[in-house]
Structure 1
Amino acid sequence: MSYSNLKFPDNSLFLVTGGAGFIGSNLCEAVLNLGYKVRCLDDLSTGKQENVDLFFDNPNYEFMKGDIKDFQTCMDACRGVNYVLNQAAWGSVPRSIEMPLFYCANNITGTLNMLEASRQNGVKKFVYASSSSVYGDEPNLPKREGREGNLLSPYAVSKRTDEEWAKQYTKHYGLDTYGLRYFNVFGRRQDPDGAYAAVIPKFIKQLINGETPTINGDGKQSRDFTYIENVIEANLKACLAEHKAAGEAYNIAYGGREYLLDIYYGLVDALGIKDKESKHLEPNFGPDRAGDIKHSNADISKAKEMLGYDPEWSFERGIKAAIDWYREKL
């Protein structure tokens, strides 16, 4: 792994908020594997108890059940912490359109609580999850930091607001903050269930179970799908970044572009799925989802230059690993 040789001071303590979730639990695991201490904060509203139970036998792991909307909880969680990896948020563009007040409270106020608690507790580095959704309707590809369009959903508003607050904390309070604009992360432990499940695990589970997946829209939308290992690398390297890189947001992706219909047919082939006439199983097609971006592809040169980000996991390599993991678990 490109992060396996990273070194932090002895007895470093990492706080991973949202540590019972998909990305958060993978970050907890990576830090523990490097030999450092992890405190996981999660209210288990979207995270899973099973992702906490994985690490309970590790003496370097501590779990706190709590909500980032509560400031005192954030203060307690940040005590003695060197590095914060703030992943706690509710995702899903469609759900944010249905629940704007909650997204403001959870994704914006919650992140602000964590920023302030980190400042008051002398945290060294504050790395937080942003999103490619902040590019909105900006039509140019690849997506490049500093060239954003009109935001298309409350979720995008929440992530863009988090970036602005983080800049203020670097500018006025000297807290080194690093925003990571994730582009369609996928991989082990990503939840395949629910109305708002991410497309790759949802398709894999449906195909394994003999169901026919539904593609929203015509399937010609494209995404820069990013395997979880690349995201782990970005978070850990941001913790070691120089101060001059702080107060900024960075695209975290592989730099590729995959079309949804191609991914669907690739999964069908990889899983050996056929219909009754031994032909390719064709998907169902549904309406476009409100607030979705049609095309997404990242310029990752800024993250490479400023964070030393050098993603090793291509989409092809990642999707093979994901399929193998879901085959074993489902």
Structure 2
Amino acid sequence: MGYKNINFLTGTKFLVTGAAGFIGSNIVNALLNKGYKVRGIDNFSTGNIDNIQKHLSNPNFEFVEGDIRDFDTCKVICTNIDYVLHQAALGSVPRSMKQPLIYEENNVKGTANMMEAARISHVKRFIYASSSSVYGDSPNLPKVEGDEGNLLSPYALTKKINEEYGKLYTDIYGLECIGLRYFNVFGKHQNPNGAYAAVIPKFVSQLLVNDSPTINGDGEQSRDFTYIDNVIEANLKACLAPYEACGKSFNIAYGDRENLMDVYRKISTLLGKEITPIFGLNREGDIKHSIADISEARNLLDYHPEYDFTTGLELTIEWYKENLLGVKSY
């Protein structure tokens, strides 16, 4: 269970794109703690140098400030790499509704650049971040791979295109690609600031300073919130999964759901706060409910998420209390 007992050959080298971002920096931290060699790249459009600062002097870590939209850069960083863990992308459904072209540039062109560079460099396997947003307007619960609806945002479209590229690169070019459809990932290093910040860090950061958070809609919408260490497990296990998993995409979640009001109440209780939230408009492009069927990931990736929502939330809040209370701004 978890990723602590997952082992690779001595000298294995990983490339993590989006290495200074929320998910990427947590993966970098886990790999370096296990003693592996890691190369990271980030252009700091959303990543934060603070997330990887402590690793910059580690001889096993090589960091490149660069942009995956530049193919020459992609070729350089894929050289002598065994596994690519591709996390670099622009997130946020609402932002993509306002700026579709930058999502095309970053999420589609950037990912295609990385797959081609990985193919040229004979990378063993290419693991990439997809998203639960590819399920679009499908009303069916739980969400099952192969039962997708109409896409609802440019962000979702970019992730679906990534999956099609992953299948093509596996089938045509022999680059073993596996997509991971993340469901509402949360945890340490997640940015609580900005108009498009994820709900859990936003709630925590505002409650810590006694502000009233805004809940979009009626608060009854539900999500399969997934603690970051479960995502790390999925990435590492995907590297070692049987070939049958390649060319496919898998739900990466816990397999349970919480509605936003319950999440707000749990955070308030853990922080000892009694603050009434503000209710705002529904977010454009959002779906009402989401929960994942993780049986395919369990069967083909040996994915068995260790952290349930409550355990992950407790760990997350402890991290924010240490890092947000006047110590750092993320």
Fold-level similarity (TM above 0.5)? yes
What letter matches 1:35 in structure 2?
G
- Residue in 1 that maps onto 2:295: 301
C-alpha distance in structure 2 between counterparts of 1:318 and 1:245, whole Å: 27
Kept in 2: contact 1:255–1:297 (CA 8 A):
yes
3-state SS of 2:62 partner = strand
Q: Indicate the RMSD between aligned Cα atoms, in angstroms.
A: 0.7
Indicate if the aligned counterparts of 1:134 and 1:151 stay in contact, CA closer than 8 A. yes
* Rounded Cα–Cα distance in structure 1 between residues aligned with 2:107 and 2:51: 21
SS in 1 for 2:290: coil
Deviations 1:169-202 (A, max 9, x none): 0000111101000000000000000110000000
Q: Distance in 1 between matches of 2:246 and 2:72?
A: 26
Equivalent residue, structure 2, for 1:164: 164
2:321 match = 327
Deviation at 1:162, TM superposition (A): 0.3
- Report the CA distance between 1:51 and its aligned residue: 1.5
Confirm or deny that 1:33 pairs with 2:27: no
Aligned to 2:56: 56
The AA in structure 2 aligned to 1:291 is G
SS in 1 for 2:40: strand
Residue 314 of structure 1 is matched in structure 2 by 308
Report the AA paired with residue 17 of structure 2.
T
CA distance in 2, matches of 1:44, 1:290: 26
Output the CA distance in 1 between the equivalents of 2:114 and 2:94: 25
Indicate the residue corresponding to 1:93 in structure 2: 93
Would you say 1:214 and 2:238 are equivalent positions? no
Would you say 1:291 and 2:285 are equivalent positions? yes
Question: SS of the residue aligned with 1:54?
Answer: helix
**Amino acid aligned to 2:305:** P
Shift of 1:103: 0.2
Once residues 292 and 148 of structure 2 are traced to their aligned partners in structure 1, the CA distance between those partners, rounded to angstroms, is 12
> What is the rounded CA distance, in whole Å, between the counterparts of 1:170 and 1:189 in structure 2?
32
Deviation by residue 1:285-326 (Cα, 9 ceiling, x = unmatched): 000000001100000000000000010100010000011110
- Give the equivalent residue in structure 2 for 1:277: none
Is the contact made by 1:84 and 1:123 (CA closer than 8 Å) also made in structure 2?
A: yes
Whichever residue aligns with residue 327 of structure 1, its letter is K
* Shift in Å, 1:57: 2.1
Partner of 1:136: 136
Map of 1:73 onto structure 2: 73
Offset of 1:267 from its aligned partner? 1.1
**Residue-by-residue CA offset, 1:73-103 (whole Å, 9 max, x unaligned):** 0000000000000000000000001110110
Structure-1 residue corresponding to 2:242? 242
CA distance in 1, matches of 2:273, 2:213: 12
Please give the alpha-carbon distance, in whole angstroms, between the structure 2 residues aligned to 1:33 and 1:205.
28
SS in 2 for 1:263: helix
User: 1:170 & 1:294 partners in 2: Cα distance?
Assistant: 34
Shift of 1:242: 1.3
Q: Count residues in correspondence.
A: 324
Q: 2: distance between equivalents of 1:242 and 1:65? A: 33
Secondary structure of the corresponding residue to residue 236 of structure 2: helix
Q: Which runs of 5+ in 2 are unaligned?
A: 325-330
> How much has 1:52 moved relative to structure 2?
2.4
- Distance, in Å, in 1 between the alignment partners of 2:117 and 2:85 is 13
Identity %: 60
Listed one character per residue, the Cα deviations across residues 121-162 of structure 1 (whole Å, up to 9, x for unaligned) are 000010000000000000010000000000000000000000
* Partners of 1:318 and 1:53 in 2: CA distance: 24
User: Is the 1:52–1:63 Cα contact (8 Å) retained in structure 2?
Assistant: no
Residue of structure 1 in register with 2:328 after alignment: none
TM-score (norm 1): 0.97
State the AA in 1 paired with 2:60. N
Partners of 1:303 and 1:52 lie apart in 2 by 29
By how many angstroms is 1:9 displaced?
Answer: 1.6
SS at the partner of 1:232?
helix
Distance in 1 between the 2:232 and 2:54 partners?
Answer: 18
What's the counterpart of residue 12 of structure 2? 12
Q: Equivalents in 2 of 1:298, 1:87: separation in Å? A: 20
| Structure 1 portions without partners, runs of 5+ | 275-280
